[in-house]
Structure 1
Amino acid sequence: MRNPSFSFPDWVGDLVPDDELFARAYTDISNRNRAWMKTGIARLHDWYGPRKATRTTMALRWRSGFDSRQVAEAVDFAVVLFDGSLLSPSRLLAALIPAIAVGVGNVLAVRVSSGTPWRKAILTGLELAGQELVVDMSELQARRLFGELRETNRSGAVAVLGPRAAVIKTNELQAASRISFWRPRYTRAAAIWMEEADTFDLEALAFIHPDIVFSVFGVEPELPAENFSYEGDGFDNFLDAIMEVAYVPADRAEQTLGRARIVFGPGQEGCWIWPDLHPEHFQYQSVAWTAGE
């Protein structure tokens, strides 16, 4: 049974940014952009939970003559590890909120950096999500953290976002049988179909994903930032341009799903989901098979 007394090493608390940094970031983000982030957070909570039970047991007797017992419980800790290349609050929260929704009691958000300034939207997104334990670490400190976590022999789950953060996931850590790792595989590019000039709020997308390259098709709109380019009005060309992520009106979503892993309609500009990040990643699974009576 999970030991409720787990806590992260004491020295981690010394690396939490000052409250004033969060306060200034929150104040500098407009109400409209905070509303977009709140919508994304609400969607993730709807999708993943929240779950009322942190431990479930399923016992079965099989016709072939054996009994099984399966236990799933929230891991002792979860760490979301990211680096300065991640500028999107929604993509970060899409890796964080599943752990909260599953009921993990100890969740830590770690930015691996060399002391570079925080993006205000990242800090505000974490605050809106209710994530209290947020730290800034060097690579050396992050390696120390995971070394100490591995030595506890406690169950844990880690989500890794960004190439610099991924360096921490060494072979030694992957061999820790009670700590599971997840890392997304995706290209930072998205295609947008504009049925009308205002089908999507492009300003919102520019705020939420300043690090994604957007290719815009359909009606030519005013582009909000340098990471947007207009590519023409052909829908077939739009479909061909999709790599993994697409933004389309609801009536075109079905035909787009076959081309894209992630499809968002109007009103979902502040949202993100990692389709292969499942609640089970944040649970410790155990199974027993015994001879039936």
Structure 2
Amino acid sequence: MKHTSFSFPDWINDFIPADELFAQAYDGIADTQRAWMKTAIARLFDWYGPRKDTSGHVTRIWDAGFKTRTAYEVVDFAVVLFDGSLQSPARLLAALVPALAGGVKNVLAIRVSAQPPWREALLTGLELAGQELVVDMTDVQVRRLFNELRDSNHTGAVTVLGPKAAVIKSSELQAASRLSFWRPRFSRAATVWMDKTAPFDLETLAFIHPDIIFSVFGAECEMPTDNFSYEGADFGDCLNALIDVAYLPDARLPDALNRAKLILGPGQEGCWIWPDLHPEHFQFHTTAWTLGG
């Protein structure tokens, strides 16, 4: 089904961070923190694949006298677009690994319009995942790239994290039929229930998500950083405070399954998944209806 090979334009290579920056970042991350990121990557690969089929089709003949054919093929490229507001390696990996596990051969990670230095955990997470092509661009440079990608007529999947990155997704690009865009609708807040028999590692949560506001309930404990606050021992209050994400022990799951988009238990502090980022996002789909059987 492929007609021409794809590669990202050569000019983006001017915006790849220096190898020394990756090396310094790796050395700056503790072994236990790297282990958490490796665990997150492994579990994402378990969840999403890795896929061994790159294309397929299904033909059906219907009693009503018509025939349908549906076909899919892995997209030519994937782009993970994020901005400086994203500081979480786990949430970045949860956007990147599905493309890798889905069999996309050309994957690009772009940090857009970010003035502060790279957080070491982000660079290390990208390196541990085996992501080779990482660039730092202004929004003008990113718009140029996406215009070229659109005009190439190749198929692509774009995952967008952060408000500054989201502005790149203009109405013109959104209308490009061979590019698929996905962006999470999650608040940057989470509730945590601390159970004495199954506590969470708050220090790890603080490392993994320095950009999330955590409201902690249950057993009193020391808060690791300023983005954590203790809110009391009432589980009802914990449920009422829940917006999208909850950290709960297994025994508390039944009360929250219909309230939260994502629930993570003890032992999953370093992990994340975007529940509505599906493998199909990284495939180009075609449907045909014809008459006859």
Q: Same fold (TM over 0.5)?
A: yes
Alignment of 1:123-272 (within 5 A): 123-196=123-196, 199-272=199-272
Give the structure 2 partner of residue 37 of structure 1: 37
CA distance in 2, matches of 1:119, 1:70: 43
Alignment of 1:10-159 (within 5 A): 10-159=10-159
CA distance in 2, matches of 1:64, 1:279: 31
Q: Name the SS of the counterpart of 1:284 in structure 2.
A: strand
* Unaligned ranges ≥5, structure 1: none
Amino acid in the other structure paired with 1:257: L
Given that 1:91 and 1:272 are in contact with CA atoms closer than 8 Å, whether structure 2 keeps it comes out as yes
Given that 2:81 and 2:158 are in contact with CA atoms closer than 8 Å, whether structure 1 keeps it comes out as yes
Amino acid in the other structure paired with 2:56: T
Amino acid in the other structure paired with 2:155: S
Alpha-carbon distance, 1:228 to partner: 0.2
Given that 2:246 and 2:264 are in contact with CA atoms closer than 8 Å, whether structure 1 keeps it comes out as yes
Percent identical pairs in the alignment equals 65
Alpha-carbon distance, 1:175 to partner: 1.0
Given that 2:84 and 2:115 are in contact with CA atoms closer than 8 Å, whether structure 1 keeps it comes out as no
Q: How many pairs are equivalent? A: 293
What is the TM-score when the length of structure 1 is the normalising length? 0.98
Q: Name the SS of the counterpart of 2:105 in structure 1.
A: coil
Alignment CA distance shift 1:3-1:101 (3 Å)? farther
Alpha-carbon distance, 1:114 to partner: 4.4
Alpha-carbon distance, 1:68 to partner: 1.3
Which ranges of 4 or more aligned residues in structure 1 deviate by more than 4 Å?
none
Alpha-carbon distance, 1:197 to partner: 8.0
CA distance in 2, matches of 1:205, 1:5: 42
Alignment CA distance shift 1:202-1:158 (3 Å)? same
Amino acid in the other structure paired with 1:253: L
Give the structure 1 partner of residue 287 of structure 2: 287
Amino acid in the other structure paired with 1:232: G
Deviation readout 1:186-218 (Å, 9 max, x if unpaired): 110000000118700000000000000000000
CA distance in 1, matches of 2:188, 2:115: 24
137-146 vs 58-67, greater mean Cα deviation: 58-67
